[in-house]
C-alpha cells in the first residue's frame, strides 16, 4: 500500500504531545501559531519541524493572545489552524476564544493542563482548567471540549477536534494534562483510508448572493475565504446576517441563541461517555483524562473485594453528558468523581444526578496523580 | 415610456459599504478624512479590491474596517496586528492593512506592533492618532501630549507619550511616515507608497477629536482643532526620527521618516528554511533513486 506522505501509518512510540501534533497534521492542520509554555511546548516544537516540510506554516508569536489571533486570521485565509498552551497561556487566550465563538471561526486550542492558579506548578500535572474552558471568556456561549487519557487518544481526539470545529464553525478545546502530554506509549497511526476528515462548508453562492452569517437549516452559516472576491465583513461585535455590527437587543436576540443552540441542540450526538461495567453496578467512577486511567486500578481492586463498580469515562467533557449521569444516578448507590482539582466537574455530576444517588468528590490539588488507594477508599466508604 | 432617473454616484462608492452610511463618527472628527484618503487612494491606483484586506481593532478607528468594501475584519482590542499576521501568512498574495487607533495599536496592542515590525511582515499599519481614547469618552492615551487634559488626567497629563515613528523604526519597520488629516495630498501619496512597499510600513495620521480631546483642551469646535493642527504641524522633507516626539503637542513634525529595503519575513523564511527543505527533499529523492538502482 502507498505510504501516506503526511503521517506514517503503523505503530510508533511517542509522547502524547507528539501524537497530538501528528493528529493535527492528519486532520489537515497546516497552520500553527504558538508561544512556548510548559508542558505543551513539544507540540509547537514538533510542528515547527513538520509543518514547513509539507507546505504548512509555523509561527512563534509574542504571546498567547497573538497566537490565537494569528490562527483566526489564517483560518479566514482558508487554513485549518491550531494553537497549544497550558494554564497561564490558556488564561490569556480567553479573550479571543470569545472572538472565535462570535465570528464562528473554526480552530483547535490544546490546553495541556498543569498546576495553578497563576504560575503554579509549571511542570506538573493538574486538571484545573475544566470550568475555565466552559466559562472562561465573557458572555453566554457554548463550547466543545474533549479530554484524552492516553497518547493514542490524544491523536484521535485532535482529529476529532478539527472535524467538530469545521462542522460546527466553533473553537474546539482539547483539555489534555501534563501526564498525558508527556507520557510516551505506543501510538498507532491508521492508514489514510481509515481517516474521516471533515472540512468547513464553503459557499457556492456568488458574492452578490452571499451573506457571511446567513444561516440555513442547521444554524451554521457557510464560510468563504478572504481574497475570493466576497469582500466580507466579520466582527466580534453583535452583528446581523451580513456581518454588520448592530447594537440592539434584537440583534443580540437573533445571534446569541443561535450560537448557543447550534451546539446545545446537537448535544446528544456530541457527547461521548464510555460506559464500562456500569450495568448492574452499585458504584460508578466518573473520570476523564489521566484520572480515568488512575481509576482503573482502584476499580479493579474494588471488584476483587466484591464491590460491583463500573466506570464512566468522559471523552467529551463539554457539552456535559447530563442524560448519561442521570440514567446511572437512578441505578447506583454512588458516583465517585476523582479529578486533579478541588472539585469542578463533580458539580456537573451533582447537578445531573439531581439527588438520585450519592455523589462523592475525590479532589486533588495537582502536582501528581491520585494514589489509586484514595479512589478505592472513596468507593468503599460510599457503599457503607 | 419610463422616466429616466438620474442619480449621482459618489466617486468613492466602489470602495465603501454605502449601506452602512452615515458613519458613527462625530462632526469635526478626522476619521472620515482618513477613510476618504484611503478609499480614494486604492481606487485611483486601481488596487485589486478583491485582494485587499483591512483589519481593525476596537475604538473609533476600529470601525474603519466596517465601512470599507473589501474583506474586512473587526477584531478584539489591540489584536488587529496578530490577526493580520495570520491572514498575511495564509494569503501572502493579498495586501493586508491594519487600520486602527493609537490606543488600540500602541496601548493595548503595543507589543504586537513592535513584534510585527521586528519580523518585517509585508503588511501596512495605518494608525490614526487623536491623542485620546475616544470611544470610551476621552481618557489618557499613550499618545496624549504632556499637560493635556483628559477625563483621567483632570489636572493635566504628566505621562510621557510615545514617539511613534521612532518606535516603529527602532522595532524594524521599513517605511515610516506621519501626516495630519490636513495633509491630504501627501497622505494619499504616502498610502500608495506604503501599500506598494515590500515590508512593514507604518503611517501615523494625526486626527482631530473635537468632541473629547478638543472639548477638554479648549478646542471644542472641529475648526479650532483643524486650526491647531495647521498651526502646530511642521512638514520636514528630511524629517528626523528623534524630532518626531509630540512632547507637549505644540510641535508636530510631519513627513516621511524612513523608507528602506530589507528582506521581509517571508523572504527570510524562503531563503533559509525554504532553501533547506528543498535541499533535504532533493537529497531524499537522490537517496531513493539510488536504493532503487540497488534493488
Rounded mean pLDDT, B198-227: 97
Q: Is the pLDDT of residue B93 over 80?
A: yes
Residues A158 and A41 placed together within one structural domain of the fold: yes
Residues A182 and A69 placed together within one structural domain of the fold: yes
CATH no. for residue A308? 3.40.50.920
Please write the tens of the pLDDT for every residue from A185-199: 999 999 988 999 999
B contacts of A226 (beta carbons < 8 Å): 53, 71, 87, 91, 94
Point out the domain boundary residue: A149, A173, A194: A194
Rounded mean pLDDT, B14-39: 96
Confidence band for A2, pLDDT divided at 50, 70 and 90:
very low
3-state class (DSSP) for residue B199: coil
Do residues A84 and A113 touch, judged by C-beta distance below 8 A? no
Chain B interface includes A245 (CB < 8 A): yes
Please write the tens of the pLDDT for every residue from A136-162: 999 999 999 999 999 999 999 999 999
Nearest residue in chain B measured CA to CA from A58: B89
Whether A38 maps to a domain, the answer reads yes
**Maximum Cα–Cα distance for chain A, whole Å?**
70
Chain B interface includes A139 (CB < 8 A): no
Per the prediction, chain A carries an average pLDDT of: 96
Do residues A98 and A141 touch, judged by C-beta distance below 8 A? yes
Give Cβ neighbours of residue B70 (< 8 Å, ≥ 6 apart). A231, B15, B42, B49, B50, B52, B53, B54
Q: Which residue, B144, B136, B114, is CA-closest to B249?
A: B144
Q: Is the pLDDT of residue A22 over 50?
A: yes
Do residues B86 and A73 touch, judged by C-beta distance below 8 A? yes
Q: Please name every residue paired with A121 in a beta bridge, in sequence order, or none if there are none.
A: A115
Q: Is the pLDDT of residue B207 over 50?
A: yes
Whether A239 maps to a domain, the answer reads no
**Rounded Cα–Cα distance for residues A282 and A308 (Å):** 5
Point out the domain boundary residue: A194, A227, A258: A194
Whether A250 maps to a domain, the answer reads no
Residues A166 and A78 placed together within one structural domain of the fold: yes
Per the prediction, chain B carries an average pLDDT of: 95
3-state class (DSSP) for residue B23: coil
Residue A302 lies in domain? 273-382
Confidence band for A235, pLDDT divided at 50, 70 and 90:
very high
Point out the domain boundary residue: A143, A162, A194: A194
Q: Is the pLDDT of residue A368 over 50?
A: yes
* Contact flag A226-B91 (C-beta cutoff 8 Å): yes
Whether A334 maps to a domain, the answer reads yes
Rounded mean pLDDT, A9-23: 97
How far does A154 lie from chain B, in Å, by closest CA?
26
Residues A372 and A280 placed together within one structural domain of the fold: yes
Percent of chain A with pLDDT over 90: 96
Q: How many domains does chain A have?
A: 2
Residue-level pLDDT at B166: 98
Confidence band for A217, pLDDT divided at 50, 70 and 90:
confident
Q: Which residue, B117, B115, B111, B127, is CA-closest to B55?
A: B127
Residue-level pLDDT at A3: 46
* Contact flag B20-A237 (C-beta cutoff 8 Å): no
Residues A174 and A300 placed together within one structural domain of the fold: no
**Rounded Cα–Cα distance for residues B164 and B195 (Å):** 19
Whether A259 maps to a domain, the answer reads no
**Rounded Cα–Cα distance for residues B33 and B28 (Å):** 10
Q: What are phi and psi of B13, to 5 degrees?
A: -55, -40
Count of residues for chain A?
384
Q: What are phi and psi of A259, to 5 degrees?
A: -60, -40
Q: Which residue, A184, A132, A136, A169, is CA-closest to A20?
A: A184
Please write the tens of the pLDDT for every residue from B140-197: 999 999 999 999 999 999 999 999 999 999 999 999 999 999 999 999 999 999 999 9
Residues A186 and A298 placed together within one structural domain of the fold: no
What's the ipTM? 0.96
Residues A280 and A188 placed together within one structural domain of the fold: no
Residue A155 DSSP code:
H
Residues A282 and A188 placed together within one structural domain of the fold: no
Whether A206 maps to a domain, the answer reads no
Q: Is 0.90 topped by the overall pTM?
A: yes
Rounded mean pLDDT, B264-281: 90
Whether A59 maps to a domain, the answer reads yes
CATH no. for residue A149? 3.40.50.970
**Which residues in B have their CB inside 8 Å of a CB on A?**
17, 20, 49-51, 53, 55, 63, 65-66, 69-76, 78-79, 81-91, 93-94, 111-112, 115, 273-274, 277, 280-281
Chain B interface includes A226 (CB < 8 A): yes
Whether A2 maps to a domain, the answer reads no
Residue-level pLDDT at B286: 85
Q: How many CA atoms within 13 Å lie on the side-chain side of A324? A: 26
Amino acid at each position: 500500500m502507498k505510504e501516506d506522505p503526511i503521517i506514517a501509518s503503523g505503530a510508533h512510540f511517542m509522547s502524547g504531545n507528539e501524537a497530538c501534533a501528528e493528529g493535527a497534521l492528519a486532520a489537515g492542520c497546516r497552520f500553527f501559531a504558538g508561544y512556548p509554555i510548559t508542558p505543551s511546548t513539544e507540540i509547537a516544537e514538533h510542528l515547527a519541524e513538520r509543518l514547513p516540510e509539507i507546505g504548512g506554516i509555523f509561527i512563534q508569536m509574542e504571546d498567547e493572545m497573538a497566537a490565537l489571533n494569528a490562527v483566526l486570521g489564517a483560518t479566514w485565509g482558508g487554513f485549518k489552524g491550531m494553537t497549544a498552551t497550558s494554564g497561564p497561556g490558556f488564561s490569556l487566550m480567553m479573550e479571543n476564544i470569545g472572538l472565535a465563538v462570535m465570528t464562528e471561526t473554526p480552530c483547535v486550542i490544546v490546553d495541556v493542563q498543569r498546576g495553578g492558579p497563576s504560575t503554579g506548578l509549571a511542570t506538573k500535572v493538574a486538571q484545573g482548567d475544566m470550568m475555565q474552558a466552559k466559562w472562561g471568556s465573557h458572555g453566554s456561549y457554548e463550547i466543545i471540549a474533549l479530554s484524552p487519557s492516553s497518547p493514542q487518544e490524544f491523536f484521535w481526539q485532535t482529529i476529532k477536534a478539527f472535524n467538530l470545529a469545521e462542522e460546527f464553525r466553533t473553537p474546539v478545546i482539547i483539555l489534555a494534562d501534563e501526564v498525558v502530554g508527556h507520557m510516551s506509549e505506543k501510538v498507532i497511526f491508521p492508514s489514510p483510508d481509515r481517516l474521516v476528515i471533515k472540512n468547513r462548508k464553503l459557499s457556492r453562492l456568488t458574492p452578490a448572493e452571499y451573506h457571511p452569517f446567513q444561516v440555513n437549516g442547521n444554524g451554521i452559516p457557510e464560510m468563504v475565504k478572504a481574497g475570493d472576491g466576497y469582500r466580507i465583513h466579520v466582527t466580534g461585535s453583535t452583528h446581523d446576517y451580513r456581518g454588520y455590527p448592530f447594537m440592539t437587543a434584537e440583534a443580540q436576540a437573533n445571534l446569541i441563541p443561535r450560537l448557543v443552540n447550534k451546539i446545545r441542540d446537537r448535544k446528544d450526538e456530541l457527547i461521548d461517555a464510555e460506559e464500562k461495567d456500569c450495568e448492574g453496578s452499585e458504584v460508578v467512577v466518573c473520570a476523564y483524562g489521566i484520572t480515568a486511567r488512575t481509576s482503573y486500578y482502584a476499580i479493579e481492586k474494588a471488584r476483587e473485594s466484591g464491590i460491583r463498580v463500573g466506570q464512566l469515562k468522559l471523552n467529551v467533557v463539554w457539552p456535559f453528558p447530563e442524560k448519561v449521569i442521570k440514567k446511572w444516578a437512578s441505578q447506583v448507590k454512588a458516583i465517585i468523581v476523582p479529578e486533579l482539582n478541588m472539585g469542578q466537574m463533580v458539580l456537573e455530576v451533582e447537578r445531573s444526578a439531581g439527588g438520585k444517588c450519592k455523589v462523592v468528590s475525590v479532589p486533588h490539588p495537582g502536582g501528581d496523580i491520585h494514589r489509586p488507594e484514595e479512589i478505592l477508599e472513596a468507593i468503599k466508604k460510599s457503599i457503607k | 415610456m419610463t422616466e429616466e432617473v438620474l442619480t449621482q454616484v459618489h466617486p468613492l462608492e466602489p470602495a465603501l459599504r454605502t449601506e452602512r452610511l452615515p458613519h458613527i463618527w462625530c462632526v469635526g472628527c478626522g476619521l472620515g478624512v482618513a477613510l476618504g484618503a484611503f478609499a480614494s487612494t486604492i481606487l485611483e491606483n486601481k488596487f485589486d479590491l478583491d485582494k485587499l484586506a483591512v483589519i481593525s481593532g476596537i475604538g473609533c478607528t476600529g470601525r474603519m474596517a466596517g465601512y470599507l468594501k473589501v474583506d474586512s475584519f473587526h477584531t478584539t482590542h489591540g489584536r488587529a496586528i496578530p490577526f493580520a499576521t495570520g491572514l498575511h501568512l495564509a494569503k501572502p498574495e493579498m495586501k493586508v492593512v491594519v487600520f486602527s487607533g493609537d490606543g488600540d495599536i500602541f496601548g493595548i496592542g503595543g507589543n504586537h506592533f513592535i513584534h510585527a515590525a521586528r519580523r518585517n511582515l509585508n503588511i501596512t499599519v495605518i494608525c490614526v492618532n487623536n491623542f485620546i481614547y475616544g470611544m470610551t469618552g476621552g481618557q489618557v492615551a499613550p499618545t496624549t501630549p504632556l499637560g493635556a487634559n483628559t477625563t483621567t488626567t483632570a489636572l493635566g497629563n504628566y505621562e510621557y507619550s510615545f514617539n511613534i515613528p521612532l518606535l516603529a523604526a527602532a522595532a524594524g519597520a521599513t517605511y515610516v511616515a506621519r501626516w495630519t488629516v490636513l495633509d491630504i495630498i501627501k497622505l494619499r501619496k504616502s498610502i500608495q507608497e506604503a501599500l506598494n512597499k515590500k515590508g512593514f510600513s507604518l503611517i501615523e495620521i494625526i486626527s482631530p477629536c473635537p468632541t473629547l480631546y478638543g472639548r477638554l483642551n479648549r478646542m471644542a469646535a472641529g475648526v479650532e482643532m483643524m486650526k491647531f493642527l495647521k498651526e502646530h504641524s511642521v512638514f520636514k522633507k528630511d524629517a528626523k526620527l528623534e524630532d518626531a516626539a509630540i512632547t507637549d503637542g505644540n510641535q508636530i513634525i510631519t513627513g516621511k521618516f524612513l523608507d528602506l529595503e530589507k528582506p521581509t519575513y517571508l523572504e527570510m523564511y524562503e531563503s533559509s528554511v525554504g532553501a533547506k527543505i528543498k535541499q533535504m527533499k532533493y537529497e531524499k529523492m537522490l537517496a531513493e533513486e539510488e536504493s532503487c538502482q540497488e534493488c
